[in-house]
Amino acid sequence: MSTHPLEEILHPQSIAVAGASDNPGSSGYGFTYHLIEYGYRGKIYPVNPRYPEILGMKAYPTIRDIPGPVDYVISAVPAAAVPNMLADCSQKGVKAVHLFTGRFSETGRQDAAELEQVILKQARKAGIRLIGPNCLGLYHPREGIAFGYDFPKEPGAVGLAAQSGGGALNFVYLASLRGVRFSKVISYGNALDLNECDFLDYFSQDAETKLIVMYIEGVRDSKRFFASLRQAAATKPVIILKGGRGQSGMRAAASHTAALAGSMKVWESLVAQAGAISAQDFDEMADLAVSFYFLPPVQGPRVGVVGGGGGPSVLAADQCEEAGLDVIPLPEEIREELKSQGISIWDWVGNPADSSIAGEASFSAGDMLRMMDRNQNFDILIGIIGEGSPGGKESIIARRKGDVKSFIKVKKEISKPLLVMVEEKSLGIKNHNHWRWRVMSEARTKLIAANIPVYPTMARAARAARKLVEYYRRRK
Amino acid sequence: MSTHPLEEILHPQSIAVAGASDNPGSSGYGFTYHLIEYGYRGKIYPVNPRYPEILGMKAYPTIRDIPGPVDYVISAVPAAAVPNMLADCSQKGVKAVHLFTGRFSETGRQDAAELEQVILKQARKAGIRLIGPNCLGLYHPREGIAFGYDFPKEPGAVGLAAQSGGGALNFVYLASLRGVRFSKVISYGNALDLNECDFLDYFSQDAETKLIVMYIEGVRDSKRFFASLRQAAATKPVIILKGGRGQSGMRAAASHTAALAGSMKVWESLVAQAGAISAQDFDEMADLAVSFYFLPPVQGPRVGVVGGGGGPSVLAADQCEEAGLDVIPLPEEIREELKSQGISIWDWVGNPADSSIAGEASFSAGDMLRMMDRNQNFDILIGIIGEGSPGGKESIIARRKGDVKSFIKVKKEISKPLLVMVEEKSLGIKNHNHWRWRVMSEARTKLIAANIPVYPTMARAARAARKLVEYYRRRK
């Protein structure tokens, strides 16, 4: 266990939910329900004077009425009720309070901003640390603490700090559906007390966290932040998504988390100087997280692409090149090897290796990947699982399953990073259960289970690969 | 009916499938099956000396053995068998042959390229027009002709010509899942006889086609092409995706359709000068097709965004601004209107209008859209259906359904273009039937049924909107 102050906050022995509720539509219900659902092993105290019992547990009128000690409080009470609640926390010796409660400085109203400052002073005086206000707080799978339904229960290696609760929630779904698991996730909203620097410092020294991901709208102390960032990025990859990059985004950030965003040019150059990696949106953040999560270090930009049909291979080449990867021509040694094996298309196939031309040649995407892995001219391999085949149900299912199986087999044998693009469509409810799209979902599930990162488009796979190339080049 | 030579080719009274087959895994089966499945009303003649019957229909050993006249032949025979098959076509008075058959000049082999030229001469001599070789041919829903399974049977207003069969197939799925329907789709491969100019000229004067979409790897005659393009773009929107933009893509294009790609800079400037719209990949091509298909002319770049939570609203502002849209501050008149209605967040809400701050205010995303529609400062409206809500099942389903319902209601009342971003996730097979993702698919289905274009990400919605702004600005 580290000595960072967050270490204790993240491992509470007991949690009270102020403003707990029996109404399943409310957040006071959700926070209480999640503690049970995710298997929190400490004591759970629902607090609400209006209920004798909540979710089958005795409810307490106030925090003061709780019999045992309380380490951590989740506050779902209205803003005006926070000072009294905090006074109770102080009396009870509470160590940290997560203020889900919002409507403070982010409203732009003077009285709300003043109340926020009153609360900060009150907490400081009582020695209580605050997460928030205006945020979803903690998702800490190892402890059984969560702020959303359907999150993975098993822990992992990604630490996320996000200034947006909806963003944090969205990212947990985005990344976990692609196989990422989390060490700790902190949605921290207005960052009144504990802020992005604290979370970054914590993740930096947390042994469970191998990869740090952040969504930030504004930093409280730029100097401290970039010093923390430099230190963190020296030990593990740090991916940062900045919200409030332009004029309108800055305005929106101010009314979301009262964040004051500065010049984007300065920000970007400082992030790059610190050795961190910038993402443009939550999708790219997920692409990067998935890439670092599953891939070994990338040695260079020379890419081999296999598995697509003709048109998709042409566009894959364009998009890899446009992303800054080097789509080298198929090396002569591989051509000679194909020829010596009697593969009829030895002189025709290239890189990208168009899968639709194989015909009766006893030669698969997996075979090509193996050759590219052995060949010293390739640094990165990208496989394509596409939907664009004209065949019927049985032949398409057989081909998709065959490709997935061969990618998984090859993955175990090779040492170079392998990314797989699995095409996606905007499905309507009538298409949801059609075999054509289900076979793609099956492909994703199987590839992810084999620790292979999947990407919905070639452009996104290529851009993620390029950012890894740059990252590892800088590390050298 | 127009007098363009393609008009007759696209309306054959009888179709023979040379190389038809009873093996469901084969293309010879697929092409025959589709004619039945999509309800082709002309005569269907399977041709294959090895079968007495195919798919319940009498099969003929050769095209010569067919009793009645044959207008159109789909060739799925091997390359070496094409000259004999063409000789039969000639004798039979066939007007057009679609050569699904490949392995010609795209192989880079001299003998294959020579055979291709022999075939071209043979066809010219016989007065037979060729589509292909090395392509999937026609999807013409009104006639019941198709080259893929699960295509929409009802026709629409988009004409697509694609040099890649897999690309054409992929695009039909991509766009039709988002509500687009097609007039005619032509996959034309090596463009040995009929080429991109013929298809473009045809679509240009085809009354059924309101929007032209093309995937091109290389053009045979640049001068003629850009003249055709200029003419077509003067009458209807033309969206062009170029494959083979970089060095490696050009190499790939040569081995895919024997296309010779030229300088990309010259290409792009000529496309823009002609008044056509460039797309970077099939996804963007679908975004643009969907936008033109459903939206009225866009008058300017000033956008109003509603429906997202805090973080998503901040990023929406950034991404709209980065795409070149103008995310104007919420106009004072709307603020005053909110105030006069007693909406408590009148001073706090902005543009984007963060949906998560409404709280108990009796005020919805739909209300805000209506106000933005009435306000002269907005040109474009974008709605967000996001997944990032912390609530439980019932509350999330109720909110999503409520948002969808209000967007659909508002759509009927307003005159400004409304785009809706419906978030997407990379689903695995275990998540496929979860209510959380099904509710999003339901949202897509309902919005599309109400003629509202849906987009999987804000960045893509914003980029599509921006390209429409530019298009309509040029048209003025």
* pLDDT(B1) > 70: no
Query: Are B330 and B466 within one domain?
Result: yes
| Complete edge-to-edge strand list for the sheet that includes strand B129-131 | B43-47, B14-18, B72-75, B96-99, B129-131
Give residue A363's pLDDT: 74
Q: Closest partner residue to A329 among B27, B251, B394, by Cβ?
A: B251
Nearest chain A alpha carbon to B354: A256
CA distance A24 to chain B (A): 7
B317 and A249 within 8 Å at the Cβ level: the answer is yes
Looking at every residue in chain B, the average pLDDT score rounds to 95
Query: Are B222 and B303 within one domain?
Result: no
Q: How is residue B429 written in tokens?
A: 């097979």
Tens digits of residue pLDDT in B406-425: 999 999 999 999 999 999 99
Question: Chain A window 116-175: which residues touch B at a Cβ cutoff of 8 Å?
Answer: 136, 147-150, 162-170, 173-174
The arithmetic mean of pLDDT across residues B402-406, rounded, is 94
Burial class of residue B150 in the structure, from the number of CB atoms within 10 Å of its CB (0-12 exposed, 13-18 middle, 19+ buried): middle
DSSP assignment of B99-149: E----SGGGT-HHHHHHHHHHHHHHHHHT-EEE-SSS-EEEBTTTTB-SST
Here the CATH number for the domain that contains residue B219 is 3.40.50.261
Number of H-type helices and E-type strands within chain B: 16, 17
B331 touches A at CB < 8 Å = no
Backbone φ, ψ for residue B204 (5° rounding):
-60, -40
Burial class of residue A255 in the structure, from the number of CB atoms within 10 Å of its CB (0-12 exposed, 13-18 middle, 19+ buried): buried
Confidence of residue B257 (pLDDT cuts 50, 70, 90): confident
Q: Where are the alpha helices (DSSP H) in A109-239?
A: 110-126, 165-176, 196-205, 222-235
DSSP state of A295: P
Q: Closest partner residue to A428 among B244, B280, B448, by Cβ?
A: B448
DSSP assignment of B343-375: -TTTTT--SSB-GGG-TT-S--HHHHHHHHHHS
Query: Are A117 and A141 within one domain?
Result: no
Percent pLDDT > 70 in chain B is: 98
Give residue A364's pLDDT: 85
Say if CB B26 and CB B50 are below 8 A apart: no
Peptide bond into A67 cis (omega under 30): no
Q: Closest partner residue to A243 among B318, B356, B393, by Cβ?
A: B318
Q: Closest partner residue to B24 among A165, A243, A394, by Cβ?
A: A394
ipTM given for this complex: 0.95
B356 touches A at CB < 8 Å = yes
Query: Are A126 and A144 within one domain?
Result: no
CA distance B260 to chain A (A): 12
Question: Chain A window 9-48: which residues touch B at a Cβ cutoff of 8 Å?
Answer: 24-25, 27, 29-30, 33
Give residue A356's pLDDT: 84
Q: Between A and B, how many CB-CB pairs are < 8 A?
A: 347
Backbone φ, ψ for residue A409 (5° rounding):
-65, -50
Say how far apart CA A203 and CA A212 lie, in whole Å.
7
Nearest chain B alpha carbon to A348: B107
Query: Are B107 and B151 within one domain?
Result: no
Q: How is residue B174 written in tokens?
A: 């991509």
DSSP assignment of B402-448: HHHHHHHHHHHH--S-EEEEE------TTTTT-HHHHHHHHHHHHHH
Tens digits of residue pLDDT in A137-195: 999 999 999 999 999 999 999 999 999 999 999 999 999 999 999 999 999 999 999 99
A435 touches B at CB < 8 Å = no
Tens digits of residue pLDDT in B450-467: 999 999 999 999 999 999
How far are the Cα atoms of B103, B218, B251, B258 from residue B254, in angstroms, in the given order?
13, 9, 5, 4
Say how far apart CA A89 and CA B345 lie, in whole Å.
30
Question: Chain B window 359-378: which residues touch A at a Cβ cutoff of 8 Å?
Answer: 359
Provide the domain limits for residue A372.
Answer: 296-475
B335 touches A at CB < 8 Å = no
Query: Are B126 and B163 within one domain?
Result: no
Query: Are A169 and A27 within one domain?
Result: no
B445 and A425 within 8 Å at the Cβ level: the answer is no
Say if CB B176 and CB B293 are below 8 A apart: no
Give residue A392's pLDDT: 84
Three-class secondary structure of residue A103 per DSSP: coil
Backbone φ, ψ for residue B75 (5° rounding):
-100, 115
Domain's final residue, options A262, A294, A326: A294
Residue from A315, A401, A425, A435 whose CB has the most chain B CBs within 10 Å, to mutate: A315
Q: Which helix (H) or strand (E) holds B469?
A: helix B458-475
A195 touches B at CB < 8 Å = no
- Which residue has better confidence, B43 or A263? B43
For strands B43-47 and B14-18, give the pairing: parallel
Q: What's the number of domains chain B is made of?
A: 3
Domain's final residue, options A241, A263, A294: A294
Domain's final residue, options B247, B272, B294: B294
Give residue A262's pLDDT: 72
Give residue A406's pLDDT: 94
Q: Which residues pair with A138 in a beta bridge?
A: A186
Query: Are A334 and A438 within one domain?
Result: yes
Three-class secondary structure of residue A215 per DSSP: strand
Query: Are A311 and A458 within one domain?
Result: yes
Tens digits of residue pLDDT in A260-314: 767 888 899 999 999 999 999 999 999 999 999 999 999 999 999 999 889 999 9
Residue from A103, A247, A314, A321 whose CB has the most chain B CBs within 10 Å, to mutate: A314
**Per-residue pLDDT tens digits of chain A, which is 476 residues long:** 568 989 999 999 999 999 999 999 899 999 999 999 999 999 999 999 999 999 999 999 999 999 999 999 999 999 999 999 999 999 999 999 999 999 999 999 999 999 999 999 999 999 999 999 999 999 999 999 999 999 999 999 999 999 999 999 999 999 999 999 999 999 999 999 999 999 999 999 999 999 999 999 999 889 999 999 999 999 999 999 999 999 999 989 888 888 776 788 889 999 999 999 999 999 999 999 999 999 999 999 999 999 988 999 999 999 999 999 999 999 999 999 999 999 989 999 999 998 888 766 667 889 999 999 999 999 999 999 987 677 888 889 998 999 999 999 999 999 999 999 999 999 999 988 899 999 999 999 999 999 999 999 999 999 999 999 999 999 88
Query: Are B259 and B312 within one domain?
Result: no
A257 and B320 within 8 Å at the Cβ level: the answer is no
Query: Are A254 and A123 within one domain?
Result: no
Give residue A256's pLDDT: 86
Q: Taking CB atoms and an 8 Å cutoff, what residues of chain A touch B329? A: 248, 251
Query: Are A250 and A375 within one domain?
Result: no
Q: Which helix (H) or strand (E) holds A444?
A: helix A435-449
